[in-house]
Chains A and B, each alone.
Chain A
Amino acid sequence: MSDLELGAIQTEFAELIWEKEPVESGELVKLCNVKFGWKKSTTYTVLKTLAEKGIVKNEKGTVTAVMSREDFYAARSGHVVDSMFQGSLPAFVAAFVSRQKLSEEEIDELMQIINESR
């Protein structure tokens, strides 16, 4: 279920909820502010994302986990999230390196170059 694929940060957020649940949304916001430096709106956005994935839920101002921690980790297949935004990084932004199509031979060749050099 690729739906359950979470990035590292979202995973940390989920961990926070598992630790603190049930937690008032306002309280959660404060916690996230301290831990991640997030604004209220950011916290709610992430909360919404997780709620949509069926991992947590926010009912009448109280946040609780829907899926248990164990179930969550069990269900993850190891596929990682869509790499979004590579192709659509603004042209004026300097990126480190891009993900590229490299064949097996090319990879081997490059590994050789790197390793053989003293």
Chain B
Amino acid sequence: MLNTFFVSILNMSISAGWMILVIMGFRWLFQRVPRRMICFLWALVAFRLIVPVSIESKWSLIPSVETFQVEGKDTLDAPMAEWGNPSVGDNADSNGNLNPGSLMDQQVSVSETIVPVQTLRVNSGFETIDRITNDYLHAAMQEDFDASGELTGLPVSPAWKSGSRDFVAILNSIAYCWLAGIVVFFVCALWSYTRLRKIIRVSVKKREGVFFCDHIATPFILGFFSPKIYLPSSMEEDALKYVLDHEMAHLKRKDHWWKLLGYWLLAIHWFNPLVWAAYVLFCRDIELACDERVVADKDGGYRKAYAMTLLSCSMPGKGIAAYPLAFGETSVKKRILSVMNKRKPSFWISMFGVAFCLVVAVCFLTGPKTGEDVTSKKSEEKEGSMFSAGEPRTFESTMELSQFYRGKLAGKLMAEGKIRDESCLYGTLFRIDSEGYPLIQCWRGDFTMITDDGQLQVYRTDITLEYKNDQYTLKEEKEYVLGPIRTYQEAMEVGTVLLYDGQEEYLCDVIADAIKERNEKAYEKLCSPDTAAEFLLHLEGGYSECMLASRNQALVTYTFDSGEAVHYLMRRMSGCLAWQVGMLYEENSEARDSYLESVLSLNDAMQKVNAQALRGEDVCMNDNLIPWQGGTETTKTGYAILDSVSGQDVALYGKTSDSYATVLRIGEKIYPLYIDWDSLYWGTGSPILCADDYDNDGDMEYSFVSQWEGGTECYEEILYMADMENGELVLYEFGKRDWMEQLEKNISYQYDEKQHSVELFSADGGKMGEYPIKEESFGKLSFGEVQHFTMQDGGWYFDTRGSVRLQKSGGKPFFNSGIQIVSPVRYEGGGRFSLCGISSLCMNE
């Protein structure tokens, strides 16, 4: 508290200093200006010295109203509540992968006492000074910060994450010195005042408010509320009139108050030599102003007599000793000259004086516009560099937060001509950590920019927020461009690039499509895990190796020139062709090692498959060899038959000890499929391998269905089609995102409130059917929670159930509407499937 208070006084003093210099200059140059105007200028200075608040204006001549910025606290907080664990389970992305990013090392460590920490920043308004001083300060404080080991973070300014306990102590002692100075002023004042009062006691009233006193050498006024004039008893009678006129003028001008105020301002700002200078000049100006006022409307005779009084009272005489000019006193010569000068200041000079006063008021009572941080560093587009925005912001919601950052980045990129509009930027913010009370959260936003030639650049923003009173307050902000990654260190710092935009559509789709539109070649890179990793992360200076773990998971190892390697778990969403970065494994991490082991064994198994031996394999999965069904392994090869095509030398096998080792054997050729054969068993009993030339291209295709649990009561079936392309076997999928898209394109519905029924329409507007609703209310109709692929008459059929939700959004779960959508599935080759005859039926339930 004391520290910050002292610093604000210091800043006020510095601001006032500029003003004082200007006024001193003006005063010296323009001596003909009426003194009372100069006194007015001093009054403005007083205002500047007392009132810290300043309005910003572009006319301000003050370099900075906050030359010294101190952040942090100099007192211990009250004991805090316990430091809680991160409160919710959804860290990182929605798949539950916690990003082991490098920024965790700036996490605040838990401690039982809160150490007060403050940091100093200089913002004098002169860039060179600021830069040099701040660099030095930062280095000095960083040392202390580091040395002090665990330092519990208190709110620190955006540009710094450092602070110093030593600094707190140093500043504190300076502040106490300052206080001591004030005390000295106070004591001196008190002492001389009491002494004077004692002498004043022996005084005689001349008339109301005027007293004679023996032991004083010069007339003066004493008293604040009921001021009295004291005159030396030895003063000549004729001098009386002029002296009284002068003192009365003082009273009318309230100088006894001004001088006292000045004294106290001097006491507070005693460390500032300019304030001393100002006070001295102010005292002189008061006397001159007073003289001016007295003789203003008097004739020459009066002036002469007045001047004589000045002279005689100032002469050492009758044994009264002379002293050198005391504090704040003008030479009598100057005063006499001023009095004898009959020329009134011209109208223009007075006007000039008034104008100058106004100009000074505006220029010095207002502060410079701040807005963006005046001394923010320029951003460099290098990995790991940072720039800060400077002003603390609050946000009401994370949506607002995300929009703000996206908008800010988009604005910047648009200004740089890199993107056309905000829609070229993909991504959102997501939370990576939260803890403590008040809640401190770390959020990260990976915003992806796709250039016109299909290249990808990710901009990352890391934010630290404080969440309190339903508001997020920005504490710290770091923005940088990701990549290229050339070393292990850099890879660790970047972590993973999440490419998640927080909505239903995963970004790997959206971004992949965006890239595909612009550059097919670049898109191809995304379709393979290793090249996808290189492309997304800008990995350079090394080579990558890839091992599939399943159809949608792979382990990519990138080895740099230095020999160090990083391991990424790559994955892709079901039905998506493009890969994304899932997780980063550190070297020698247990998780990696165990995962690597399983992936290695899988791939090993896949490579060692012997077509010949498999052909002779007669053990079927049907024979209860599924491990968790308590079967025992009695196969020769370790593989068992899942199903075979009658009349063809084609069979589907699964390795009993590894459900991802699935293999399709066509004659002598083995094609590893990396799908989970266990998923082929759900609900449908044993898997069915079907063969046909579905697309009429002269080749056989092989198809089968898997089912996996997509959520509670939610099964998703996938139709697989193994097709030959350029001699290679490609396994295509017809999954939810594909058929859902087709359903949405082809079916619309309308709710009839009177009939409480739903009408379904096909794409061309034809009515497909009308179905009464069993439930009491109708919110919306949806499809897809349950669906089936069935083989009928040698062809695949698709059906799904229509479900009614009672409310348009949220609320109770769906109810079976009795509506069934069916359609045959046509495979057109090249991975294209279509629902070629969508119709609706009423289900009998």
Partner-B contacts on A (CB < 8 A): 5-10, 12, 35-39, 41-42, 45-46, 78-102, 106-107, 109-111, 113-115, 117-118
Known A9-B233, A85-B217, A113-B337; contact A101-B199, beta-carbon cutoff 8 A: no
> CA separation between A76 and B736, bound complex, in Å?
124
Residues of A within 8 A of B300 (CB): 117-118
Beta-carbon contact of B204 and A101 below 8 Å: no
Q: A80-B320, A94-B220 are in contact. List 16 more A-B contacts (CB 8 A).
A: A7-B213, A8-B234, A10-B202, A81-B215, A86-B218, A89-B196, A93-B221, A93-B256, A94-B256, A96-B247, A97-B287, A97-B332, A100-B316, A107-B311, A113-B336, A114-B307
Beta-carbon contact of A7 and B214 below 8 Å: yes
Query: A46 touches which one: B202, B287, B342 (CB < 8 A)?
Result: B202
Residues of B within 8 A of A9 (CB): 202-204, 212-214, 233
Task: List, sorted by A's number, 22 A–B pairs whose CB atoms are closer than 8 Å.
Answer: A7-B214, A9-B212, A9-B233, A10-B214, A42-B201, A46-B202, A80-B318, A85-B195, A87-B326, A89-B326, A94-B220, A99-B315, A106-B333, A107-B311, A110-B333, A113-B307, A113-B336, A113-B337, A113-B340, A114-B307, A117-B300, A118-B300
Residues of A within 8 A of B307 (CB): 113-114
A63 to chain B, nearest CB (A): 17
Beta-carbon contact of B221 and A94 below 8 Å: yes
- The number of chain B residues touching the other chain, given as a range, is 35 or more
Count of A-B residue pairs with CB < 8 Å: 184
> CA separation between A98 and B247, bound complex, in Å?
14
Instruction: Decide if B35 is an interface residue (CB 8 Å cutoff).
Output: no
Residues of B within 8 A of A99 (CB): 217-218, 313-316, 320-323
Partner-A contacts on B (CB < 8 A): 189, 192-193, 195-196, 199, 201-205, 212-222, 233-234, 243, 246-247, 250, 255-256, 259-260, 262-263, 286-287, 300, 303-304, 307-308, 310-311, 313-316, 318-329, 331-333, 335-337, 340, 342
Residues of B within 8 A of A41 (CB): 201
> CA separation between A38 and B212, bound complex, in Å?
13
Known A9-B212, A80-B319, A85-B199; contact A96-B333, beta-carbon cutoff 8 A: no
Residues of B within 8 A of A115 (CB): 304
The 4 closest A-B pairs by CB, nearest first: A7-B214, A8-B233, A83-B217, A92-B263
A95 to chain B, nearest CB (A): 4
B237 to chain A, nearest CB (A): 12
Beta-carbon contact of A85 and B216 below 8 Å: yes
Residues of B within 8 A of A102 (CB): 314-316, 322, 332
Residues of B within 8 A of A93 (CB): 196, 220-222, 256, 259
B609 to chain A, nearest CB (A): 102
Beta-carbon contact of B215 and A7 below 8 Å: yes
Kindly name the residue among B222, B300, B332 whose own CB sees the greatest number of chain A CB atoms within 10 A: B332
Residues of A within 8 A of B304 (CB): 114-115, 117
Beta-carbon contact of B202 and A95 below 8 Å: no
Residues of A within 8 A of B329 (CB): 95, 97-98
> CA separation between A79 and B316, bound complex, in Å?
12
Beta-carbon contact of A86 and B217 below 8 Å: yes
